[in-house]
Amino acid sequence: MEIVLDQKDAADWTYRGEGAVNLVLAYTGSSPLFFGKVIRIQKAARNGSHCTSVRSVVALSAHERLLWRDLGDLVSCTDRDVVCQMYVQHVMIPLLDSKHVDAGVHILVTREFLETIEKNILSQRPAWRVSAGRVNIHCDSVLLQSDHSIFPQGGEGEFCISVEIKPKWGCLPTSRFISKRNAIKKSVTRFRMLQAWKLQKGEISELSDYDPLDLFSGSQDRIYKAIKDLFSTPQNNFRVFLNGSLILGTEGGYAVDTNLEIEEAFEDALQSVIQRGNGFRTMSFLQLVAEAVHKSGCLNRLLDVQKLDSFDIEGAIHAYYDIISEPCLVCRQMDDDELLKRCATLHSAHLDQSLEIVRNYLTAATAKDCSLMITFRPWHVDCPGSTYNSIFVESTKQTFDYKVNFIDLDLKPFKKMEQYYEQDKKIVRNYNQMFVTELEADHY
Ligand SMILES: O=P(O)(O)O[C@@H]1[C@@H](OP(=O)(O)O)[C@H](OP(=O)(O)O)[C@H](O)[C@H](OP(=O)(O)O)[C@H]1OP(=O)(O)O
Ligand SMILES: Nc1ncnc2c1ncn2[C@@H]1O[C@H](COP(=O)(O)OP(=O)(O)OP(=O)(O)O)[C@@H](O)[C@H]1O
Ligand SMILES: [Zn+2]
């Protein structure tokens, strides 16, 4: 018999968090079927009184079907949600390893279930997220996935502590299609430039200390620095959950900088997790996280996927115009003859090459926006066949099992290419205006 979640089931699901597109709820009921699971519910944008799906209602546009035509199953899907799940299965899992990714399964839900969920979680959602979007009550299914903040078989009375990191772009672009005007992109990270933009718009009140280049550096010391910086300025890049409950950061939004009060509360929350060694528990914990990042090598793999974007949006946008068979608006406005000539080579490429450039760009975009969850539990001598790797923390003499999972590996819409191009221009222009004098800009 097919499972359908109905109104009476809504009370068993509690708010876990949300992004721009989905709401995530964790199971707190007693059915073994759902134990250790979360559901991901699609949101609908609020445009005045009108509600439309955050993503297009149509599964794939004609251009997207062309783009992903080699993945037969994917292009025949009629539901965008199912497309995203298949994209994870056919594109992201081969790149990131099935050990680290759960594509999930769809389960049916009634409209009453979704309406009740919406009412139940309203007070827990950040106000700005509520104004931007609501539960899409027109969906008839949700995505059921493993709750990565816990282990599937947790021992009795045993804790699980989990860190969620949204690492963003871990390298600087080197593409020869980057214009002189935007050359600063080759030396300042997009994360940093976007921080300046967010500060300007009032989305954040302080710049983040975090530098993605540290996290992706492969050097243990720099990774530790990145984790410490994420701890002090978590924004929407860092969260910690203890047994599935948030103990640092904010659900679904931007956290304030970590002040003394937050630091003390976190140190207390770690009492059941980390033994008091020579220093603070927090320090040992952050070292543990840094070591897991380093030892697992998970970010090396993610970085390789991000690097599929070798043309940068300033190159890929030309391929986009060729695919949609429209005159290139970028070349039309270009005042640099040398660059124009270089871009002409892209326009003379075969359609298959243009498709490959855009496909790679969008795949990399997913990898630049996803998050990873690293989850720890105490290691047991009596569990010799454990499939998990372990880490020994010297300062507290404790050993932990850990696992790494990627989340939010959704397909980025083809149509967003134009938006990516415009946003890139805006972010760089803003950064130059805020931080770089004209003289310096010439130098880049
Ligand atoms: O453009 P960015 O780098 O700001 O990334 C967007 C994210 O902003 P961030 O800077 O991480 O706070 C943004 O996150 P928030 O909503 O700001 O938490 C989304 O993840 C967005 O993706 P999508 O529209 O949900 O597919 C992200 O859009 P994409 O660029 O990944 O499509
Ligand atoms: N499988 C999971 N296990 C545990 N927690 C999860 C899982 N999936 C999502 N979450 C939690 O729910 C939050 C929102 O999920 P997600 O990032 O997938 O939303 P989104 O709307 O797709 O995000 P974005 O804005 O980046 O597109 C995450 O930040 C994380 O805290
Ligand atoms: Zn062009």
Q: Which ligand is nearest to the CA of 333?
A: 3
Query: Could you tell me how far CA 194 lies from the centroid of its own chain?
Result: 15
Q: Decide: 104 in ligand 2 pocket, CB within 6 A.
A: no
Examine residue 432 and state whether it is found in any structural domain, yes or no.
Answer: yes
How many domains does the chain fold into?
2
Which pLDDT score is estimated for 49? 41
Cβ-Cβ contacts under 8 Å for 333 (sequence gap 6 or more): none
Range of the domain at 337: 153-444
Examine residue 64 and state whether it is found in any structural domain, yes or no.
Answer: no
Same domain, 91 and 168: no
- Tell me the C-alpha distance between 157 and 149, whole Å: 16
pLDDT tens-digit profile of 378-413?
887 666 667 788 999 888 889 999 999 999 999 999
What is the residue with the minimal CA distance to atom 8 of ligand 2? 407
Q: What ipTM score was computed for the predicted complex, to two decimals?
A: 0.97
Same domain, 301 and 160: yes
How many angstroms separate the alpha carbon of residue 263 from the centre of ligand 2?
24
Same domain, 192 and 52: no
Same domain, 359 and 217: yes
| Of the residues 146, 173, 199, the one at which a domain ends | 146
How many angstroms separate the alpha carbon of residue 336 from the centre of ligand 3?
12
| Of the residues 98, 122, 146, the one at which a domain ends | 146
Which pLDDT score is estimated for 48? 46
Which pLDDT score is estimated for 50? 43
Strand order in the sheet with 238-242: 245-248, 238-242, 161-165, 371-378, 398-407, 389-393
Examine residue 67 and state whether it is found in any structural domain, yes or no.
Answer: no
How many angstroms separate the alpha carbon of residue 6 from the centre of ligand 2?
23
Which pLDDT score is estimated for 342? 97
Please give the number of the atom of ligand 2 that sits closest to the Cα of 405.
Answer: 1
Please give the number of the atom of ligand 1 that sits closest to the Cα of 410.
Answer: 26
Examine residue 79 and state whether it is found in any structural domain, yes or no.
Answer: no
Examine residue 372 and state whether it is found in any structural domain, yes or no.
Answer: yes
Same domain, 197 and 331: yes
Examine residue 68 and state whether it is found in any structural domain, yes or no.
Answer: no
Which pLDDT score is estimated for 311? 98
| CA-based nearest residue to 318, from 309, 307, 310, 329 | 329
Contact predicate 167/187, CB 8 Å: no
Examine residue 395 and state whether it is found in any structural domain, yes or no.
Answer: yes
Examine residue 99 and state whether it is found in any structural domain, yes or no.
Answer: yes
Same domain, 101 and 236: no
Q: Which ligand is nearest to the CA of 348?
A: 3
Same domain, 216 and 253: yes
Parts of the chain with a pLDDT under 50: 48-51
How many angstroms separate the alpha carbon of residue 282 from the centre of ligand 1?
29
Same domain, 329 and 434: yes
**What is the model's pTM?**
0.94
CATH of the domain at 33: 3.30.200.110
For a substitution probing ligand 1, which of 168, 203, 208, 369 has the most ligand atoms within 8 Å of its CB?
369
Average pLDDT over the chain, rounded to an integer: 92
| Of the residues 129, 146, 163, the one at which a domain ends | 146
Same domain, 135 and 240: no
pLDDT tens-digit profile of 147-185?
999 998 766 678 899 999 999 999 999 999 999 999 999
Question: 339-377: b or e for each residue (b if 16 or more CB lie within 10 Å)?
Answer: beeebeebeeeeeeebbebbbbbbbbbbbbbbbbbbbbb
How many angstroms separate the alpha carbon of residue 206 from the centre of ligand 3?
37
Same domain, 274 and 372: yes
What is the residue with the minimal CA distance to atom 16 of ligand 1? 20
Burial class (CB in 10 A: 0-12, 13-18, 19+), 273: buried
Same domain, 344 and 410: yes
Residues touching ligand 1 (Cβ under 6 Å) are: 19-21, 166, 194, 236, 365, 369, 412, 416
Same domain, 233 and 134: no
Kindly give the residue spans of alpha helices, DSSP state H, lying in 89-245: 93-96, 111-121, 127-132, 190-201, 212-215, 220-232
For a substitution probing ligand 2, which of 13, 16, 148, 406 has the most ligand atoms within 8 Å of its CB?
16
Which pLDDT score is estimated for 54? 55
How many angstroms separate the alpha carbon of residue 371 from the centre of ligand 2?
8
Q: Decide: 24 in ligand 2 pocket, CB within 6 A.
A: yes
